[in-house]
Structure formats: C-alpha cells, structure tokens
Amino acid sequence: MKILVTGGAGFIGSAVIRNIIDNTQDSVVNVDSLTYAGNLESLSLIEDSERYAFEKVDICNRAELERVFSTHKPDAVMHLAAESHVDRSIDGPAAFIETNIVGTYTLLEATRSYWSTLSQDKKDAFRFHHISTDEVYGDLEGTDDLFTETTSYEPSSPYSASKASSDHLVRAWLRTYGLPTVVTNCSNNYGPFHFPEKLIPLMILNALDGKPLPVYGDGMQIRDWLFVEDHARALYKVVTEGEVGETYNIGGHNEKANIEVVKTICALLEELVPENSYSKASAGHSGEDGNINGFESLITYVTDRPGHDVRYAIDASKIERELGWKPEETFESGIRKTVEWYLNNKEWWSRVLDGSYAGERLGVKG
C-alpha cells in the first residue's frame, strides 16, 4: 500500500512515517510545507528508503496537491498537517483557520477528485484518515468522566475550534460525497523529536540550562499522556483496519496533572544528570521553604492562559475492543525514554533551538 501522509515532518507525522517504513512493507509520500515545526531531520533514519518520498507542498495549494495525487497515486491519506499550539492560536488565530480548516477542505476536495477516477475496487479500499485531538471535546467537570467517541464538541481555544471544524468537514465529505473517511481523536502526545515549545521538551531543556520551568496557574490541569510511538501504531491500525465512518479515540490511560509531569521530569534529571549544575547533588539550590530542591527550584508558576481547559481524559476502549490496540508504554516508561532521548540527542534539539534546522526549507524540491 502507498500512504500519503500530510504533515509528515512534524512530531506525530514523523513518528507515523518512521513506524511505517521500519515495521511494514508499505510506501509513504510525505507532504509537508515545512513550517516552523516541520523538521526533516526527524526523518533522517528513513529518508534514504526506496519506499519514502517527500513533496514540499502546502495543503492549501489545490494544484500542487492534484499533481501529488496524479504522480504518486496513493491508496490512502493520513491527514496530520495542522497548526497545533494552543498559545500560538490565542496570539494569532488566522494561521489556524487557514491550515486546519481551509487546508483540510482543500485536501478533501483534491482527494475526492482523485478518488473519483479510481476503479470501484480501489474506491472501496481507499481511506481518508483524519487525525484530530481530544481538545475538540472541551474539558471534563467530573473526576471520573471520560471522553467517548459520542461526546459533544465544546472547543475552548481557536486551535481546538479549528480542529473541530475540520472534523465536521471530514464527516460531511463522507455523508455527502461518499468519500471513505475515518476520524481519530487523540490525547496529549509526548516522546522523541517533540518540538521544544511543548510542555515536556520545554521542561527538559529549560531544566538542563537552568532556566525557569513555567507552569500555568496552579499546575493542576490534568491531561491523558500518550507516548507518540504508541500513537503511531494506533494510527496505522486505524488506516488499515478501521471501519469507514467510524471515530476512534486514542489515549494513553495515563492521567497526570501538569505539575506532576514537571516534577517527574525533575526527578528523572536528578537521577540521570546529577553532575548538572542545577541538580541537588551539584548545586544545592534552595526552594522557598529553604530545603534543597535541585531542578524543582526552577519551577515558576505563571498566570494561567485564557480559556485553559482543566481536565482531559480519553476512553480508548473502542479501539482496543474493535481493533486490538492498546498502549505499550506506561507514563513512567515513556517519560524515562523521552528524557533519555533528549539527553542523548543534543544535536537534534540544539539545531531546533538555534534555528539552523530551518535551512532545510530553502531550496527543497519535491
């Protein structure tokens, strides 16, 4: 099978592509415009594979999308390209409307045009898999409630509203035009190759450099954490085995408050890099109570962001029951792997932080 992956140079998209090339016989066409979060260095381990091709294309460009479909003739689309940072959506929502709504519409129309030319057998086998987020559901009030596939949409931010809009478009293209679509909504991802603006990599890298660890409000916002490689395996299950018209929630069964996540990272760094000048062993930094707190002394509580959802939690029983997927990593095993990866891959994140990775965007041709 040949799978067209949009946003394949991003965090989750690159994990999906690495999983497909490493663990299947399928081919991948990576369609990415290489915005600030797109990093082809995340694909360096598989970029020389004969089953991998890259196209530098914006999903808002209909003509270029039609060229890609005509050239590569994919059997499925996995749509991950999106603007995804909540804080950025609050500061500048226009890009989120353009990419997440207009881009998804344009991709749907280019896909439909291509799909309409296929033989009936290939039409029936084709899949358009739209990858979305649990943030479209808003937040949960109770401590035991979970998001299910039928939870009503109540997005809180421009980001989540734009993703909710794209979900509705995808389902409408199935209902109106018969395009065989499937939707997944996932919880917070973490793991290797995560862009440093997101919570977990930001905390790791700030701590290593002795910078403040900014925590919104009281830090008690709860998220369900999903290791990105578990997510990649789930997405492949859905695109190959999922039922047309179905929605599958994908979660890690790991609810943690943000402050607990930050303190876990601090504890791991105390263990793994005791020689760091901000560790307890080396520095003896004191917290407000006068005790030696090491990396935890860097935690800084900052003003909460507008409309900040309090709790997300996914009920992932449907995908386990119907497709046989469940996460392999606990939060404890996944966060250790993540911290160790950042400690062992300074070259990757240093090039992101200093901006030198961006040079790959210049002169890159499809």
Report the catalytic residues.
Answer: 134-135, 159
How far apart CA 202 and CA 198 sit, in angstroms, is: 6
Runs of H (alpha helix) within 242-345: 258-272, 317-323, 331-344
Q: Which residues have CB under 8 Å from 267's CB, separation 6+?
A: none
How far apart CA 77 and CA 80 sit, in angstroms, is: 9
How far apart CA 295 and CA 214 sit, in angstroms, is: 13
C-alpha distances in Å from residue 104, one per residue of 30, 32, 72, 98: 16, 13, 19, 9
Q: What is the DSSP letter of 24?
A: S
How far apart CA 225 and CA 335 sit, in angstroms, is: 10
Reference 69, options 28, 27, 99, 111; nearest CA is 111
C-alpha distances in Å from residue 198, one per residue of 42, 110, 120: 16, 32, 43
How far apart CA 15 and CA 43 sit, in angstroms, is: 8
